[in-house]
Amino acid sequence: MPQCAQPSAPAAATLDADSSMAPGTVTAILEHVNDPRTIGGGTVIWPERMSIGIFFSLLAIAPYVIRRRVSAGMFWFLRASFDAVGGFDESLLSVEDVDFALRLKAFGHARGKKYGTIRRHGITTSCRKFDRFGDWYLFRNPRLVKEIFEGTNRRAAEGFYYDIER
């Protein structure tokens, strides 16, 4: 079993409840969180299955994520950084993870540190929303995607995240 460096300060990671880590992710987190050039970061996200519809639906989301230049789904950071940016904004109805990533990135930038992305050891996320709504759902509903990324649209958030059978 590989040896992991212990963080010099309390470190933490968060993971969406419907996602799982790839083997080696914890080791990668410890390596990255101990890098003094990095404030924290996210990871690459892979769906548990792929189809043409999911691929195009992910393309519908891509502009919102690429423009912000942050990764999400799972975060790793020192506890002090989490506290300094105020954690997750619980007033947001959606994309509170993207909001957290942007604030963490800005916090790091002000301190000469970069926001990192663990690329080799990502996470796999559930396709339960695609299973419920269909693989092409987000691609066919660009307005909904825009509304979800506003973070404050109750109708969009409740319809896509909260009012579905689990």
In this structure, the chain runs to a length of 166
Which are the contacts of 20, defined by CB distance < 8 A and separation ≥ 6?
Answer: 123, 124
How would DSSP label each residue in 52-111?
HHHHHHHHHHHHHHHHHT--EEEEEEEHHHHHHHTSS-TT-SS-HHHHHHHHHHHHHHHT
Q: Chunked in runs of 10, what are the mean pLDDT values of the chain (166 residues)? A: 55 90 91 92 93 94 85 89 94 88 96 92 90 93 87 79 58
Copy the structure tokens of residue 87: 């954690």
Q: What is the predicted pLDDT for the residue at 88? A: 94
Q: What is the predicted pLDDT for the residue at 2? A: 44
For residues 17 and 109, what is the distance between their CA atoms, to the nearest angstrom? 29
